[in-house]
Amino acid sequence: MALMTTGNTSRADANRRRILDVALAELLRDPDASMDQIARAAGVVRRTVYGHFPSREALISTLVDGAVQALTEADAGSRAGVADPAEAVARSVLAIWAIADRYRLLVALAQRTVTVQGIRDRLAPLRENKIQVLQRGLDTGVFTSPLPAPALAYVHEQLLFAVMEAVNDGLVTVREAGRSATVTVLTAAGVPAAAAARLVAELDGESQPAGES
């Protein structure tokens, strides 16, 4: 009986993961995708989807929470052990762009099911980490801005949303956007454009396999 229960749980977990993966893809394609659409794309009946998520809002909330968690982990991991504030900010933005689909989900849903305020609330811990890095940069003169660190963090956050919205509209590729957004974030904090471009090129080059640019 225990083995059977474990097997059922494993299948349920696998179904749940598949539904979330498919829902992410479907909502990126069509932010208004219905539960029926998601069920069909996942190859399950609608009842199975509702068995895991009692409503479309619950499904989307789970996806948004997962996206924010992934972004927070990417940010923290990229900055670990990095003392220079400019490098820390650059590594953070590049790491976030490496999981850009999750960021695109937040942008796609911001004007629809999930309110902008709801997303801002979820991003609060990530923003607080950014404020600390920005404040360190302002204190040491690495960054120069007429804005205090908390306000500058909001500017950076909205800049990233805006650039990813441009990606969603087909104005720029994800790859190009990652580099450009990182340089723009640094220059918004007062780093000279040439220095920002050099830093981003150096860091972005570290993440590419030999022979790839």
| Across 78-93, average pLDDT | 95
Give the pLDDT band (50/70/90) at residue 146. Answer: very high
Res 151 pLDDT > 90: yes
* pLDDT for res 168: 80
User: Across residues 119-135, what is the average pLDDT?
Assistant: 90
Percent of the chain with pLDDT over 70: 85
DSSP 48: H
Q: Could you tell me how far CA 47 lies from the centroid of its own chain? A: 30
Pairwise CA distance, residues 70 & 32, whole Å = 23
**d(Cα 93, Cα 186) in Å, to the nearest integer?**
10
Q: Which residue has the tokens 């471009």?
A: 197
> CB–CB of 27/33 below 8 Å?
yes
* Residue 208 scores a pLDDT above 90: no
Q: Which two tokens stand for residue 22?
A: 């498919």
Q: What pLDDT does 30 receive?
A: 86
Say if residue 212's pLDDT is above 50: no
